[in-house]
Amino acid sequence: MKARVLSGVQPTGNLHIGNYLGALKNWVKIQYDYESIFCIVDLHAITAYQKPEELRSNIHQLAALFIASGIDPKHSSILAQSSVPGHSELAWMFTCVTPLGWLERMTQFKAKSEGQEIIGDGILQYPVLMAADILLYQAKIVPVGDDQRQHLELTRDIAQRFNSLYGETFVIPETKLPLVGARVMGLDDPTAKMSKSATGAGHAIALLDDPSAIRKKIMRATTDSNPTVNFGNAGPGVVNLLSIHQAFTEWTDGQMRTHFEGMRYGDLKKTVAEAVVEGLAPIQAKYKEITADPGYVPSILKEGAARVSPIAQETVELTKKRMGLYSLA
Ligand code: TRP
């Protein structure tokens, strides 16, 4: 049996080339080596207020972008987290075995709650729900970025604590993050990771940006005071543009150097922009094709939920049984 891989993305903001090159592109590559589950984590999204209509349409858009990027819904399950009740059920059971101190220590919690007058309980519970996402399917491999490492470690701690209190129940997921993609930085500020929540117009390239928007953003990207590309001494903005190009084209380091060393920044930007336009064209075409039928994406989400539900139900039943909770099954 193939090992199970699970990852999640929040249906908030616009998916951008950082999400694609850093995560999705790798998921596409490895999906057939595993039993793959890709979860649109709408329950995590509501830890911050979401306009209901917007949230629902973001869920559909994200599912469509997964498919357009190459996730094969015939093989991989794509589902909305809230459509499988086991995520919430397991999260509560985990809440009850998780020491408060573990949650208060999370760097993401500290960052999100700092200076806030009102701190939603959901912000604190966020990683418990993430643990439930993973352990509900007994997933072994969790391809996430380095910023999620602490949450993954907490998931292991919760699983171990549960297992020691109630007996072996959960598979402990691996901590190694096997799929490091490109780390894409903001175009306007190459010292910060490209982010969905950053508001600057020139910060990120969304997967659905049209060619003229892509060109405009890249032509305005921050570089440095050198006149031309110098591989030995390139500032973070130039490094970022080069790594975006390399991630799209999959050129070797040698090819990159031969092509770009000594190139003027204006020409570098033009070349990178064309690589991005070309790299996104098939994704955008596929997106257009699959969203032309408004019934298609909802049918995929339904199919995904139906495929994983038996696994979720089995885990929830087992967990309830271990804890002595009441079951009609
Ligand atoms: N917290 C993750 C992020 O912001 C999203 C996420 C939720 C997730 N549940 C998950 C990732 C389960 C991997 C597995 O990126």
Q: What is the Å distance from ligand 1's center to 250 Cα?
A: 27
Catalytic residue (one of 74, 176, 196, 269): 196
Predicted local distance difference test score (pLDDT) of residue 177: 64
In the predicted model, what is the mean pLDDT of residues 221-233? 94
Res 130 pLDDT > 90: yes
In the predicted model, what is the mean pLDDT of residues 249-276? 97
Res 151 pLDDT > 80: yes
Q: Which pTM value belongs to this model?
A: 0.94
Provide φ and ψ at 326, rounded to 5°.
-90, 135
Quick one: pLDDT band at residue 180, thresholds 50, 70, 90?
low
Range(s) within the chain of domains with CATH label 1.10.240.10: 211-289
Residue spans of alpha helices (H) in the chain: 17-19, 25-30, 42-45, 52-69, 86-95, 100-104, 107-113, 121-136, 149-166, 211-219, 236-249, 253-260, 265-291, 296-323
More confident residue, 144 or 214: 214
Predicted local distance difference test score (pLDDT) of residue 238: 97
Range(s) within the chain of domains with CATH label 3.40.50.620: 4-177+293-323
Instruction: Write out the two tokens for 73.
Output: 């819904």
Q: What is the Å distance from ligand 1's center to 125 Cα?
A: 13
Predicted local distance difference test score (pLDDT) of residue 52: 98
Percent of the chain with pLDDT over 70: 98
Q: What is the Å distance from ligand 1's center to 252 Cα?
A: 31
Q: Is the CB of 41 under 6 A from ligand 1?
A: yes
Q: Is the CB of 37 under 6 A from ligand 1?
A: no
Task: Judge whether 308 and 85 are in contact, CB under 8 Å.
Answer: no
For ligand 1, atom 9: residue with the closest CA: 130
In the predicted model, what is the mean pLDDT of residues 32-48? 97
In the predicted model, what is the mean pLDDT of residues 202-221? 97
Quick one: pLDDT band at residue 161, thresholds 50, 70, 90?
very high
Task: Judge whether 178 and 141 are in contact, CB under 8 Å.
Answer: yes
Superfamily of domain 211-289 in CATH is: Tyrosyl-Transfer RNA Synthetase (1.10.240.10)
Res 266 pLDDT > 60: yes
In the predicted model, what is the mean pLDDT of residues 92-101? 98
Of 5, 7, 156, which is best to mutate to test ligand 1, by the most ligand atoms within 8 angstroms of its C-beta?
A: 7
Instruction: Write out the two tokens for 149.
Output: 């490492």
Percent of the chain with pLDDT over 90: 90
At residue 281, what is the residue type?
Answer: A
Check whether domain 4-177+293-323 has CATH 3.40.50.620, yes or no:
yes
Instruction: Decide if 112 is catalytic.
Output: yes
Predicted local distance difference test score (pLDDT) of residue 13: 86
Give dist(CA 234, CA 97) in Å, integer.
49
Q: Is the CB of 133 under 6 A from ligand 1?
A: yes
Res 310 pLDDT > 70: yes
For ligand 1, atom 6: residue with the closest CA: 8
Predicted local distance difference test score (pLDDT) of residue 179: 57
Give dist(CA 14, CA 256) in Å, integer.
29
Res 178 pLDDT > 60: no
Res 100 pLDDT > 80: yes
Instruction: Decide if 217 is catalytic.
Output: no
| pLDDT averaged over every residue in the chain | 95
Q: Which secondary-structure segment (H or E) carries 216?
A: helix 211-219
Quick one: pLDDT band at residue 145, thresholds 50, 70, 90?
confident
CA max distance for the chain: 72
pLDDT digits 0-9 by tens, 51-65 = 999 999 999 999 999
In the predicted model, what is the mean pLDDT of residues 172-192? 84
Predicted local distance difference test score (pLDDT) of residue 200: 85
Predicted local distance difference test score (pLDDT) of residue 126: 98
Instruction: Write out the two tokens for 166.
Output: 């109630």
Q: Is the CB of 62 under 6 A from ligand 1?
A: no
Coil, strand or helix: which one is 9? strand
Q: What is the Å distance from ligand 1's center to 132 Cα?
A: 11
Q: What is the Å distance from ligand 1's center to 19 Cα?
A: 13
For ligand 1, atom 8: residue with the closest CA: 8
Q: Is the CB of 134 under 6 A from ligand 1?
A: yes
Res 163 pLDDT > 80: yes
